[in-house]
Amino acid sequence: MEIRDGALKMKIEIMGHKAVYKRLEDNPANTGIVLIADDALDIQNTILDNWKNKKILFFRDITDASGYKAMTAVQATEIKDYVLSKKDSMETLIISCHAGVSRSPAIAAGLLAGSGKSDMHIWRNPQYSPNILCYKRMLRAFNKPTLLAIVKKHISEQSLKKATRRS
């Protein structure tokens, strides 16, 4: 899927590793990649060695933040910082995880939401099942509230209004 984002001034492409290796053979200078893998054995380093604009991270496709090799807040910040540092020079950002179904769509959605754009087209796409932990981590990296935080705040405000009216 391609996403053209005006705030980031780049096209975002979401794909699995097999598709990305074919794409990387071209090695255009104005294309960057965020490649997510379970571990170093999950990637083909020979293709990536010559790739200039890359950010490689290792975390598993799990939603339990305390799980082994779950995405960390530091990794989310690294992705955000990498993308923002390249926003004026990259025309295309490829986000790739093993299948291109869970982690990479979550990262793309988080980048869009973090930059103030709608991410609904990712959530509504039946090809994707965004990893909620990755999405939350990305939102927090941008200091954006998660939906749960918004709902809790709304409930607290409503409870406070009711309590104030009774007084």
β 10-16/2-5 pair status: antiparallel
Q: Letter for the amino acid at 122? A: I
* pLDDT value at residue 64: 93
Residue 65 and residue 34: Cα distance in Å, rounded? 21
Domain that holds residue 27: 2-166
Query: In which band, very low, low, confident or very high, does the pLDDT at 58 lie, cut at 50, 70 and 90?
Result: very high
Contact 103, 131 (CB under 8 A): yes
* pLDDT value at residue 145: 79
CATH of the domain at 35: 3.90.190.10
β 54-58/92-97 pair status: unpaired
* pLDDT value at residue 53: 84
Number of domains in the chain: 1
Q: Which tens digit of pLDDT belongs to each residue from 6-17?
A: 456 788 999 998
Q: Residue 16, Cβ neighbours under 10 Å: how many?
A: 14
Residue 91 and residue 55: Cα distance in Å, rounded? 16
124: left (phi over 0), alpha (psi -120 to 50) or beta: alpha
Query: In which band, very low, low, confident or very high, does the pLDDT at 1 lie, cut at 50, 70 and 90?
Result: very low
* pLDDT value at residue 17: 86
* pLDDT value at residue 8: 65
